[in-house]
Amino acid sequence: MASLFVVAAIVLVCWCGVFVVRGLLSTDELSAFLTRFPGDAPQLASTPDGIPAFVSWTHFLNAFFLVMIVRTALRVRGEKRAGGLWTSTRVKKRRMSLALWAHIAVDVLWLANGVVFVVLLFTSGHWARIVPVSWEVFPNALSALLQYLSLDWPTHRGWVNYNALQQLSYFAIVFIASPIAAVTGYRLSTFYPKGPAWQRALPDTLAKKLHFPTMLFFVAFVIAHVGLVFTTGILRNLNTMYGGADRVSWVGFAVFAATVVLMIIGWRTARRDDWIAKPASWTGDVRMMRK
Ligand code: HEM
Ligand code: HEM
């Protein structure tokens, strides 16, 4: 009963919030602000339109690998006893559970995909879609935020121009969160060089403090991102990313659905140590532990 009351109170507060924001936006000052900063990310005249094929492919692979990374990370975090141990054949002291081996193996694939994405991003000119090119991105992001809060959402035109909030969040996930995940993960791994200078450069305690919250940031981003993709014209949005064209069509939806099936298969595979053991044995010695 009490929790029902809390939920009702939260809904009421949010609802009042919407009206407050709408009231504010109807004042002369704020409506002039919205006219001056409509919410779009400022663009260079040379920025190409559209979602090129390399973005579609790397975006799909990124989401697929990320699902496996999160699955294996949760195993690493929750595992009391390893189901199997991997030992390097070159450096005998290098040893880890199969779940952690799988986490790092997928990380390597994810990083390679990320490098391909970033290189093509800069050689194709598409970079200017997700990298801010003017300080005006900030007032525009505030404008887009106010429009979301007022429930009168900014027009979604992902094919031509992201809004400033989209651009900032895409920039943050690619150029801030991903490097943090990679560097702190490398620090925590057995591959990080030993010695006081390396420890001072990035203390393991700091890396540990950052690595897990970075995952929470990824998960929060994906929930908001996919939520908005679905609620701002699902068929058209999915077709821009998975169907290569800016029109309402079931093609993009069908491709997206197929990728979800692959993700479910990946999720299930990542919990099986007997399956992980096979590729792990190509790179070192594997010993299964008795349950
Ligand atoms: C599987 C669920 C996902 C769906 C359905 C999805 C859908 C989309 C769509 C439709 C766009 C085009 C922009 C738009 O219209 O808003 C987009 C762009 C983007 N998404 Fe996703 N996305 C997913 C997962 C992810 C994940 C896991 C990440 C990263 C962690 C991500 C990062 C991005 C980035 C960086 C862009 C901008 C790409 C560019 O133009 O270079 N997405 N996504
Ligand atoms: C190149 C990228 C990455 C590397 C090298 C890496 C490496 C590692 C290592 C070595 C551990 C074990 C830490 C320990 O023993 O305390 C670990 C744990 C973990 N990783 Fe990663 N990781 C990477 C990317 C990611 C990403 C992208 C995510 C999430 C989206 C993630 C989420 C986690 C989580 C949640 C744990 C468990 C942490 C804990 O116990 O608090 N990792 N990772």
94 — phi, psi (to 5°)? -85, 110
Cα-to-centroid distance, 286 and ligand 1 (Å): 37
pLDDT > 90? residue 251: yes
Distances (CA, A) of 263 to 65, 69, 77: 8, 11, 21
Ligand minimally distant from the alpha carbon of residue 41: 1
pLDDT at 140: 96
pTM of the model as a whole? 0.92
Residue, of 25 and 110, whose pLDDT is higher: 110
Q: Is it the case that residue 52 has pLDDT exceeding 80? A: yes
Output the CA 182–ligand 2 centroid distance in Å.
Answer: 8
Nearest to 191 by CA among 100, 58, 291: 100
Q: What is the pLDDT of residue 92?
A: 76
Instruction: Check if 55 has its Cβ closer than 6 Å to any atom of ligand 1.
Output: yes
Ligand 1, atom 4, residue with closest C-alpha: 226
CA pair distance 12, 18, nearest whole angstrom: 10
Q: What are the angstrom distances between the C-alpha of 102 and each of 13, 97, 156, 195, 284?
A: 45, 9, 38, 26, 13
Ramachandran angles phi, psi of 95, nearest 5°: -150, 145
Mutate to test the pocket of ligand 1, among 225, 231, 262 (most ligand atoms within 8 A of CB): 225
Task: Establish whether residue 222 lines the binding site of ligand 1, counting it when its CB lies within 6 angstroms of any ligand atom.
Answer: yes
SS3 161: coil
In the reported structure, the alpha carbon of residue 276 is separated from the centroid of ligand 1 by a whole-number distance in angstroms of: 28
Q: What is the pLDDT of residue 222?
A: 97
SS3 for 46? coil
In this structure, the residue with its CA closest to atom 28 of ligand 1 is 63
What pLDDT score does 163 carry? 93
Q: Which residues contact 238 (CB under 8 A, 6 or more apart)?
A: 229, 252, 253, 255, 256
Q: Is the pLDDT of residue 236 over 70?
A: yes
Q: 130 CB less than 6 Å from ligand 1? A: yes
Domain residue spans of the chain: 39-288
**What residues have CB less than 8 Å from 119, skipping those under 6 apart?**
none
Ligand 2: residues with CB < 6 A are: 69-70, 73, 76-77, 100, 103-104, 107, 111, 181-182, 185-186, 188-189, 208, 211-212, 214-215, 218
CATH (residue range 39-288): 1.20.950.20
User: What average pLDDT does the segment 147-167 reach?
Assistant: 88
